[in-house]
Structure 1
Amino acid sequence: MLTVEADAARVETRLQAGEIECPDCGGVLAPWGWARHRVLRDANGVVRVRPRRARCSGCGGSHVLLPVFVLVRRVDLVDVIGAALLAKAAGSGVRAIAARLGRPVETVRGWLRRFEQQAEHVRVYFTVLLVDTAPDPVPPTASASRFTDAVAAVVGAWRAAASRWPDVGKVSPWQMASAASRGRLLSPIWP
Structure 2
Amino acid sequence: MLLPVFVLVRRVDLADVIGSALVAKAAGAGARTIAAVLRRPVDTVRGWLRRFEQRAEHVRVYFTVLLVDTGPDPIPPAASVSVFADAVSAVVGAWKAAASRWPDIGEVSPWQLAAATSRGRLLSPRWP
The answer for the alignment partner of 1:172 in structure 2 is: 109
The answer for the alignment partner of 2:94 in structure 1 is: 157
C-alpha distance after superposition, 1:59-105 (max 9, x if no partner): xxxxx111000100001110000000000011111100000000010
The answer for the alignment partner of 1:118 in structure 2 is: 55
Among residues 69, 76, 81, which one is paired with 1:132 in the alignment? 69
In structure 1, distance between residues paired with 2:93 and 2:17: 19
Secondary structure, in 3 states, of the residue corresponding to 1:182? Answer: coil
**Amino acid across the alignment from 1:124:** V
**Amino acid across the alignment from 1:179:** A
Number of residue pairs the alignment of both structures matches: 128
In structure 1, distance between residues paired with 2:104 and 2:111: 15
Secondary structure, in 3 states, of the residue corresponding to 1:67? Answer: coil
In structure 2, distance between residues paired with 1:186 and 1:107: 13
Secondary structure, in 3 states, of the residue corresponding to 2:126? Answer: coil
In structure 1, distance between residues paired with 2:31 and 2:13: 16
Among residues 78, 87, 93, which one is paired with 2:30 in the alignment? 93
Deviating above 4 A after TM superposition, structure 1's stretches of 4 or more consecutive aligned residues are none
| Larger Rg over CA atoms | 1
| 1:103 partnered with 2:11 | no
The answer for the alignment partner of 2:127 in structure 1 is: 190
Correspondence list, 1:16-95, <5 A? 64-95=1-32
Report % sequence identity. 80
In structure 1, distance between residues paired with 2:49 and 2:43: 10
TM-score (norm 2): 0.99
Secondary structure, in 3 states, of the residue corresponding to 1:68? Answer: coil
> Which structure shows the bigger proportion of residues in strand conformation?
1
CA RMSD of superposed structures (Å): 0.5
Per the TM alignment, residue 166 of structure 1 is displaced from its structure 2 partner at its CA by 1.1
**Amino acid across the alignment from 1:149:** D
Q: Which runs of 5+ in 2 are unaligned?
A: none
RCO higher in structure (CA 8 A, sep ≥6): 2
Secondary structure, in 3 states, of the residue corresponding to 2:2? Answer: strand
In structure 1, distance between residues paired with 2:89 and 2:57: 12
> Which structure shows the bigger proportion of residues in helix conformation?
2
Q: Which runs of 5+ in 1 are unaligned?
A: 1-63
